[in-house]
Amino acid sequence: PDNVRVSYGTAGFRGNASGMEYVFFRMGMLAALRSKLKEAAIGVMVTASHNPEHDNGVKLIDPQGEMLAQSWESLATALANVTNDQLIEQLKQIIDSQKIPLSNTSFSFYCKRLQVSNEVVCNKTTFANASAFGATCHDHGLLTTPQLHYILACYNGGDIKVDEEHYYQNYASAFKALLNVVSLCKLNPVTSPVTVDCANGVGAAKLTKLAERIGANIIDIVVYNDGQSGKLNENCGADYVKVQQRAPAGLNMEPFHRYASFDGDADRLIYYTLDSDCNFILLDGDKIAALFATYIRDNLKKVNIEKNSVSASINLRLGIIQTAYANGNSTNFLINQQNIEIACTPTGVKYLHEKALTFDIGVYFEANGHGTVSFSLFYLKRLQKGESAFDPNKSAEERFAAKKLKLFLDIINQTVGDAMCDLLAVEAILQDKNWSVKEWYRIYTELPNRQAKVQVADRRIIETGDAERKVILPSMLQPAIDELVRKYPSGRSFVRPSGTEDVVRVYAEANTQENADDLAQQVSLAVY
């Protein structure tokens, strides 16, 4: 349409479903071209993640299950924005500039969001059009985003028969194997139910299948918001719970019971509970990252891989990657009390993922619950050496720690943040530590915080630097924020233009909720 410009943002294209058909049409073409170039299958995921049901979105997934290469984002944007008359010319430009061998075969994988409007958009456009472009298309129907990443990576790795069932079998057996080792170390393994709000999205049916494969005697998962009555992402789901800091509508909570929420495409996970005074307690991506990293680090210490390795001089690097949204107290806890290395990147999974790969073990989470762990080949080799270097004189504790690290790695979906795998990982760690949600949330206390959004005429005039922690332009804004922050004990605040909505986002934290709310409001006014 005239005067409409779309751009391939942090998570592909997003917008009102009714106006997006041409974007899907063209992404079908682009997927086919990229597949020819990479000589591998490319994924096309149709989802608007945590956005309301009337929205839709599309993103491409690269061969190993990673996000589309950043250099192609601008090609996607250019292709989506030309007029029909310019389309052929634009395609030629892409083919020439990227030197795409048109004679190569191409494959696209696609799957769609649980939503009526998608049926029309997908079937008519993406799929048919990629086929018309010479691609062999594999329709995977409804999947969570991480399931498509996983299946694509397996397929391109040579397992051409991989399907959804393969995903369940893989993670269910990894989880059972880890729990087996965990319960061997203990007399009485504790199991209590976990209630999971699936945001009325695709995750409900998928989690039910995964839980069935594991078995109700091993994990007790109660699915809430399964899409039977409520609307996708409406008053529920990980984003709602995180931003509103309250339970999904209609959920009657009991103190110290474990609750979790997925978002609509099940790539985000957060936990929450009530304390004995019925205060709402959130365990977000920061707390999950802290749990994972300390678990890995503690087991590494027990295994003492370095001692057992041939070249003991090389250290394994464990790091946690956060964004500016990470709670100040989580950062303090990890650096000062746990002595774990921290890195900060701009918002968006691709940035965190890229940074995580620079560590041997990179635990990355956005506070909103999107995250996973990446393990280097070097770490894998060390782990194998650590395991095989055990002799009968080594303690049982050491042997178990090595085994646990190996099995923990197996329940992680390394391609992308995966709510289902992350849930299994949290549940396994809590069982191993014999922890209830209470011990977990007490590892550190969050600073009260508030998120807000401001409508402005053009959010793009705001430019940020230092991993979005500072405003560069307009130049008067950062000094104004600094001055406001100084007024509040433990105050911190930043603003950034959203990558998915036409708003500027504001984050503030301070010593009390009142102060955090106040600071967010003052900074919002400064932006306005």
DSSP 319-376: EEEE-TTS-HHHHHIIIIIT--EEEE--SSHHHHHHHHTTSSEEEEE-TTS-EEEEE-
Residues in the chain: 528
Collapsing DSSP states into helix, strand and coil, what is residue 280? strand
Identify residues 47-106 at the interface with Zn ion (CB under 5 A).
49
Partners of residue 42 on adjacent β-strands: 108
374 is in an annotated binding site: no
CA atoms 348, 353, 354, 356: torsion sign: positive
CB 448 within 8 A of CB 510: yes
Q: Can you read off the two tokens belonging to residue 140? A: 């995977």
Catalytic residue numbers, as ranges: 49
Chain centre to alpha carbon of residue 205? 19
Quick check: 107 and 136 in contact, CB under 8 A?
yes
Residue 263 interface partner, choices Zn ion, ligand 16G, none, CB cut-off 5-8 Å depending on type: Zn ion
Say whether 119 counts as a known binding-site residue: no
108 annotated as ligand-binding: no
Q: Is 106 annotated as a binding residue?
A: no
366 binds, among Zn ion, ligand 16G, none (CB under 5 to 8 A by kind): ligand 16G
- Pick between residue 7 and residue 183 the one whose CB is nearest to ligand 16G: 7
When asked if residue 267 is in the footprint of Zn ion (CB under 5 A), the reply is: yes
Question: Which of these segments, 214-222, 287-295, 477-485, 494-502, binds ligand 16G (CB under 6 A)?
Answer: 494-502
Q: Using CB atoms within 10 A of its CB, is residue 435 exposed (0-12), middle (13-18) or buried (19+)?
A: middle
Which of 35, 145 has the CB closer to ligand 16G?
Answer: 145
Q: Which is nearer to Zn ion, 49 or 294 (CB)?
A: 49
Sign of CA dihedral 372, 168, 147, 35: positive
Contact positions with Zn ion (CB under 5 A) in 337-376: none
Instruction: Give the nearest distance from C-beta 200 to Zn ion in angstroms.
Output: 14
Phi-psi region of 141 (alpha: psi -120 to 50; beta: other; left: phi over 0): left
Residue 355 or 370: which CB sits closer to ligand 16G?
370
Q: Of 97-105, 121-129, 406-414, 499-507, which part binds ligand 16G (CB under 6 A)? A: 499-507
Rounded distance between C-alpha atoms, residue 280 and residue 167, angstroms: 34
Q: Residue 477: phi, psi to the nearest 5?
A: -70, -45
- The reply on whether position 263 binds Zn ion by CB under 5 A is yes
- Binding residue for ligand 16G (CB under 6 A) from 498, 513, 517, 521? 498
Q: Which of 122, 153, 349, 429 binds ligand 16G (CB under 6 A)?
A: 349
| Cα torsion 449, 451, 456, 459: sign | positive
Question: Residue 154 or 326: which CB sits closer to ligand 16G?
Answer: 326
The residue among 425 and 447 lying less far from Zn ion, judged by its C-beta, is 425
Instruction: Select the binding partner of residue 10 from Zn ion, ligand 16G, none (C-beta < 5 to 8 A, by kind).
Output: ligand 16G
CB of 15 to Zn ion, least distance (A): 16
Q: Quick one: how many helices (H) and strands (E) in the chain? A: 19, 19
Contact between residue 280 and residue 274 where contact means Cβ atoms under 8 Å apart = yes
From the list ligand 16G, Zn ion, none, partner contacted by residue 347 (C-beta under 5 to 8 A by kind): ligand 16G
Binding segment for ligand 16G (CB under 6 A), chosen from 196-204, 377-385, 401-409, 497-505, is: 497-505
498 is in an annotated binding site: yes
Which of 347, 415, 464, 515 lies at the binding interface for ligand 16G (CB under 6 A)? 347
Residues in region 30-69 near ligand 16G by CB under 6 A: 49
Question: Is 419 among the annotated ligand-binding positions?
Answer: no
- Torsion, Cα of 62, 71, 466, 374 (10° steps): 20
42 neighbors 62 (Cβ within 8 angstroms): yes
Stretch that binds ligand 16G, among 80-88, 366-374, 375-383, 440-448 (CB under 6 A): 366-374
- Segment lying near ligand 16G (by CB under 6 A), choices 78-86, 92-100, 152-160, 500-508: 500-508
330 is in an annotated binding site: no
- Give the shortest CB-198-to-Zn ion separation in angstroms: 12
| Residue among 199, 195, 348, 368 nearest 283 (CA) | 368
Assess 505 for contact with ligand 16G (CB under 6 A): yes
User: Which region among 87-95, 147-155, 249-257, 344-352 touches ligand 16G (by CB under 6 A)?
Assistant: 344-352
Q: Which of 265, 284, 398, 518 binds Zn ion (CB under 5 A)?
A: 265
Residue 425 token pair:
């990982």
Three-state SS across 4-66? Answer: CCCCCEECEEEEEHHHCHHHHHHHHHHHHHHHHHHCCEEEEEECCCCCCCCEEEEEEECCCCC
Query: Which residue from 6, 309, 499, 517 is in contact with ligand 16G, where contact means CB under 6 A?
Result: 499
Give, for 504, the enclosing helix (H) or strand (E). Answer: strand 504-509
Task: Decide: 370 and 149 in contact? Cβ < 8 Å.
Answer: no
- Residue 265 interacting entry, from Zn ion, ligand 16G, none, C-beta within 5 to 8 Å by type: Zn ion
Q: Does 501 bind ligand 16G (CB under 6 A)?
A: yes
366 is in an annotated binding site: yes
List, as own/partner pairs, every contact residues 161-167 make where C-beta atoms lie below 8 angstroms and the sequence separation is at least 24, other chains included.
164/140
- Residues making contact with ligand 16G (CB under 6 A): 10-11, 49, 347-349, 366, 368, 370, 498-501, 505
Known binding-site residue numbers for substrate: 366-368, 496-500, 505
Known binding-site residue numbers: 49, 263, 265, 267, 366-368, 496-500, 505
- Residues making contact with Zn ion (CB under 5 A): 49, 263, 265, 267
Known binding-site residue numbers for Mg(2+): 49, 263, 265, 267
